[in-house]
Amino acid sequence: MKVISLWQPWATLIVRGFKTIETRSWPAPKSIIGKRIGIAATKIILPEQRIAYQDPEFQKFYSLTGLPPLEQLPRGCVIGSAVLHSSDPIDQDLVDDITDEEEAFGWYAPGRFAWRLRGQQAFGPYPARGAQGIWHWEPPNDVAVVHQDNAHQEGQEVVWRPLHPALGAKVLPRLS
């Protein structure tokens, strides 16, 4: 399985379904678009990640997830997977179409790319030596990785699942 390493708490936000777009400075390789990829949590947390985690807008939404504090999240391991649906350049139309929550959980600067994820699955954690970029991991035999992307059906709209009933739901544009 191909895997990407993410800082915490963003790795957990993805595998738990609270974050559906990973923002990157580079486009996803075409070879993994439409495929299930593993999500690994990096071993360390940099000062920049701690600052982003403490941002009031980020905390406003993170506090509603029920997830533990940053220091209690697993690190240095593979914690789940998701289907990489698409990878698109970030533009103002994309930013206008996402929820405030999704925006708080990403870095939507011009020149970056939105990796849209579907069919998130949490498992593990399984200790792993990560790497930068995309790397290979052989799941243990007891990992039942879902291979179908049931979160998106072609030709249908995808309804974003709100984190908290008070936030309401938002219908996202069709992805083709």
**Is 0.85 surpassed by the pTM of this model?**
no
Domain map of the chain by residue range? 2-172
pLDDT at 163 over 60: no
> ∠ at Cα 159 (154, 30), nearest 5°?
45
Condensed to tens digits (0 to 9), the pLDDT of residues 67-93 reads 999 999 999 999 999 999 999 999 999
Condensed to tens digits (0 to 9), the pLDDT of residues 88-123 reads 999 999 999 999 999 999 999 999 999 999 999 999
* Of residues 173 and 56, more confidently modeled: 56
CATH of 2-172, one of 3.30.390.50, 2.30.130.10, 2.30.130.30, 3.40.50.2300: 2.30.130.30
- In this structure, what token pair is assigned to residue 130? 């990560």
How many other β-carbons are positioned within 10 Å of the β-carbon of residue 61?
21
